[in-house]
């Protein structure tokens, strides 16, 4: 199945959605502007600096916008006085004269470029000089770089989500952040991660997000860390961003993953520490009734056909066809390579299949399944192909096969998580391995002693 085609298709279990209108660009509701002043620093009669008295992190903050393109307009409205082209935006949380973040905007061959500089010396500020000319002294290298073909807005009406992003240094860019923290301290101008966000129909709603670890990052082939992740919204219904601070992708105080029904700005700043917390989800991995993602330990590249492993895929489905944003079916497939189970030379699938029987936002039942099945289907992902079960086929693929280990669970009290029913009914991996490989033919009763009350 081709992902580029599936983005405009609706799976059998998804609602029959009408075409959704484009999302109009929102006002930056993460900031309150109180006053705008301008200065002419070189005496040519044109403003060179716009000072915005505002509140985005404390009760009193300040943003200084330096003109780097000799095109700043005289105006009392920040929207007319400034732009995100050939300007440097200096964010001063607390208005104490120190910078906590600097964004340098530029253009190159029809591309708009934003370079984000945060504190790299652990002194709580980003060093720069404004005279005789503007210069960033903190580092030669941006911590985050964002590139947009055709600008930051589509037709000046809605936000552009066709972006190429790179990060350099300790910035969270994947869900499994703790796996990388020790190897991301080197801030050297070489990207550690690349992020590609795409909105093929240009309606202001991103459709998919691809995150890839740099090939040269210091990882052993035996390190069990996610190297490629992909988030997809097949219904094309990502909520509009709320809480932006001037630039539509910039915010603070958000988590890496989205929650139900909201889209915080994905680039989140810790203003107290003057660091970029994360480049989070443009496309939600969970928290929606039509979504799927892949977290693959094997790096997926265009150079070769890759068998995606670990969570590949993890899908959520609108079984009730009510389009309420809460899934009624969740299917997680954990794909393990040959010999993951000792002495078992085959690919193995471990499935968590949870559903909300009565559409009450409560997971009622779950199947835990373990088996070994041939997966021959190739899914054309945005930037490479991978061997995996297509999202649209996954529920039927699971229910239409025999499984070597089956456990059924029913909840007896309200239960809800973003990923179905978590409790593993066979938590002892060694025992599960022996059962799957045929070394034992009965699971010991003690393996079920950890089942919690109410299940």
Reading the chain (455 residues) residue by residue, the pLDDT tens digits are 444 433 333 333 333 334 456 554 456 889 999 999 999 999 999 999 999 999 999 999 999 999 999 999 999 999 999 999 999 999 999 999 999 999 999 999 889 999 999 999 999 999 999 988 999 999 999 999 999 988 998 766 789 999 999 999 989 998 877 777 766 777 889 999 999 999 999 999 999 999 998 877 756 665 778 899 999 999 999 999 999 999 999 999 889 999 999 999 999 999 999 999 999 999 999 999 999 999 998 889 888 888 888 999 999 999 999 999 999 999 999 998 887 777 778 888 999 999 999 999 999 999 999 889 999 899 998 888 999 999 999 999 999 999 988 889 999 999 999 999 998 766 566 677 777 777 888 877 777 777 777 78
Q: What confidence score (pLDDT) does residue 41 get?
A: 94
Q: What confidence score (pLDDT) does residue 220 get?
A: 63
Give residues with Cβ within 8 angstroms of 395, minimum separation 6: 13, 315, 317, 329, 331
Q: What confidence score (pLDDT) does residue 3 get?
A: 43
pTM of the model: 0.90
Q: What confidence score (pLDDT) does residue 218 get?
A: 59
Q: What confidence score (pLDDT) does residue 156 get?
A: 66
């Amino acid at each position: 199945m081709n992902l580029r085609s599936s983005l405009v298709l609706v799976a059998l279990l998804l609602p029959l959605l009408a075409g959704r209108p484009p999302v109009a660009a929102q006002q930056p509701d993460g900031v309150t502007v109180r006053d705008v002043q301008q200065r002419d620093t070189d005496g040519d009669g044109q403003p060179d600096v716009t000072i915005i008295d505002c509140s985005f992190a404390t009760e009193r903050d300040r943003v200084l916008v330096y003109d780097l393109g000799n095109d700043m307009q005289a105006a009392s409205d920040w929207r007319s006085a400034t732009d995100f082209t050939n300007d440097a935006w200096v964010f001063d949380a607390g208005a104490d004269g120190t910078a906590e973040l600097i964004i340098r905007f530029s253009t190159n061959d029809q591309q708009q470029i934003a370079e984000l500089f945060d504190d790299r010396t652990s002194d709580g500020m980003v060093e720069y000089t404004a005279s005789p000319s503007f210069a960033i002294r903190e580092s030669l290298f941006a911590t985050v770089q964002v590139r947009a073909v055709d600008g930051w807005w589509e037709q000046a009406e809605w936000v552009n989500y066709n972006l190429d992003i790179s990060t350099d240094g300790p910035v969270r860019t994947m869900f499994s952040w703790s796996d990388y923290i020790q190897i991301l301290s080197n801030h050297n101008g070489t990207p550690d991660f690349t992020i590609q966000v795409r909105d093929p129909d240009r309606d202001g709603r991103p459709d998919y997000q691809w995150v890839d670890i740099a090939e040269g990052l210091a990882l052993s082939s035996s390190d069990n860390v996610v190297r490629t992740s992909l988030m997809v919204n097949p219904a094309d219904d990502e909520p509009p961003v709320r809480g932006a601070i001037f630039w539509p992708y910039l915010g603070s105080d958000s988590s890496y993953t989205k929650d139900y029904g909201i889209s915080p700005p994905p680039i989140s700043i810790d203003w107290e520490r003057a660091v970029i917390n994360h480049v989070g989800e443009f496309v939600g991995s969970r928290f929606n009734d039509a979504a799927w993602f892949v977290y693959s330990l094997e790096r997926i590249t265009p150079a070769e056909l890759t068998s995606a492993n670990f969570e590949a895929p993890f899908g959520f489905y609108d079984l009730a066809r009510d389009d309420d944003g809460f899934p009624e079916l969740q299917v997680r497939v954990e794909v393990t390579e040959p010999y993951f189970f000792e002495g078992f030379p085959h690919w193995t699938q471990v499935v968590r299949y949870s559903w909300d029987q009565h559409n009450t936002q409560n997971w009622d039942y779950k199947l835990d399944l373990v088996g070994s099945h041939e997966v021959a289907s190739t899914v054309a992902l945005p930037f490479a192909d991978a061997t995996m079960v297509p999202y649209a086929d996954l529920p039927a693929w699971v229910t239409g096969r025999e499984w070597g280990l089956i456990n059924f669970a029913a909840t007896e009290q309200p239960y809800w998580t973003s990923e179905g029913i978590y409790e593993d009914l066979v938590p002892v991996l060694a025992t599960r391995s022996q059962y799957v490989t045929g070394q034992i033919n009965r699971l010991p009763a003690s393996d079920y002693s950890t089942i919690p009350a109410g299940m």
